């Protein structure tokens, strides 16, 4: 979480024990988020519109770059 206090970033934290996903931004952590909530926060953080082509390629299973 410390990096989110000192830099303009969104930190994604995944628990090794539980697999729960949390996000930290501006020193504030949101814990145990659903997949849909993570998508919403990431899209908002990067100003990706709800119906844009750029949004469709994110979070697709099995794809690597």
- pLDDT of the residue at 65: 46
- pLDDT of the residue at 60: 57
- pLDDT of the residue at 52: 56
- Residue count of the chain, please give it: 65
Any idea where the domains of the chain sit in the sequence?
A: 2-56
Q: Tell me the per-residue pLDDT of 12-32, one tens digit each, with 9 for 90 and over.
A: 999 999 999 999 988 889 999
CA atoms within 13 A on the CB side of 29: 11
Contact between residue 29 and residue 49 where contact means Cβ atoms under 8 Å apart: no
Q: What is the radius of gyration, based on Cα positions, of the chain?
A: 13
Q: In this model, does residue 4 exceed pLDDT 80?
A: no
């Amino acid at each position: 979480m410390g990096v989110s206090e000192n830099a303009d970033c969104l930190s994604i934290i995944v628990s090794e024990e539980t697999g729960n996903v949390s996000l930290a931004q501006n020193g504030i952590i949101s814990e145990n988020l659903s997949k849909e909530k993570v998508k919403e926060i990431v899209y908002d953080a990067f100003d990706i519109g709800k119906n844009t082509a750029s949004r469709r390629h994110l979070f697709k299973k099995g794809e690597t770059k």
